[in-house]
Copies of this chain bind each other. A is one copy, B any other.
Amino acid sequence: MENRKYLLNCWYGLGWATEIDDGQLLSRKILGRNLIAFRDAEGRPAALRDRCPHRMAPLSRGVLRDGVVQCQYHGLCFDGAGRCVENPLGPLPERARVESFAVVERDKMLWIWPGDAALADPDQIPDYSFQNHDGVDGDWVVFGYTHVEADYQLETDNLLDLSHTEFLHAGSFGGRGFIQNGEFQLRDFGNEIHSNWWMPDIPFIDPKTRTPTGKRLDHFLDMRWNAPSNMRLHVSFLPQGVHADRKDTKRDDLPGQFSAHIITPEDDGSCHYFWSANKPTGAGPFVGGLDKDAGLALFKLAFEVEDKPMIEAVEANMESDFWGEEPVILPNDAGGIRARRRLAKLIRDEQAAAGGKEAQADKQRLAQPAE
Contact = CB atoms under 8 A, between A and B. Distances in A.
Interface of A: 34, 50-51, 53-58, 61, 70-75, 87-90, 93, 95-96, 157, 161, 163-164, 166-168, 179-180, 309-310, 313-314, 316-318, 325, 327-328, 330-333
Given A73-B168, A75-B167, A163-B74, A57 B89 contact: no
B89 A56 contact: no
Given A61-B310, A96-B328, A317 B74 contact: no
A371 to B, nearest CB: 24
Given A56-B325, A163-B89, A180-B89, A74 B330 contact: yes
A166 B87 CA distance: 13
Contacts of A34: 317
B330 A54 contact: yes
A328 B179 CA distance: 59
A58 B328 contact: no
A93 B93 CA distance: 65
Contacts of A54: 327-328, 330
Contacts of A87: 330
8 contacts: A53-B327, A54-B330, A55-B333, A73-B164, A89-B163, A89-B331, A90-B332, A93-B328
Contacts of A56: 314, 317-318, 325, 327
Contacts of A70: 167
A73 B310 contact: yes
A88 B164 contact: no
Nearest to A96: B328
Given A56-B327, A93-B330, 6 more contacts: A55-B157, A58-B314, A61-B313, A73-B314, A88-B180, A90-B332
A325 B70 CA distance: 20
B74 A164 contact: yes
B325 A95 contact: no
A167 B325 contact: no
Nearest to A50: B317
Contacts of A333: 55
Given A317-B50, A327-B56, A332 B89 contact: yes
Contacts of A317: 34, 50-51, 56-58
A331 B164 CA distance: 61
Contacts of A58: 313-314, 316-317
Contact of A90 (B51, B96, B331): B331
A341 to B, nearest CB: 16
The 4 A-B residue pairs with the shortest CB-CB distance in the complex, in nearest-first order: A96-B328, A53-B328, A75-B167, A56-B317
A167 to B, nearest CB: 5
A57 to B, nearest CB: 5
Contact of A57 (B73, B161, B310): B310
A82 to B, nearest CB: 13
A328 B71 CA distance: 14
Contacts of A93: 328, 330
A318 B56 CA distance: 7
A89 B179 contact: yes
Contacts of A88: 166, 180
Nearest to A91: B331
A317 B51 CA distance: 7
A51 B180 CA distance: 23
A216 B318 CA distance: 61
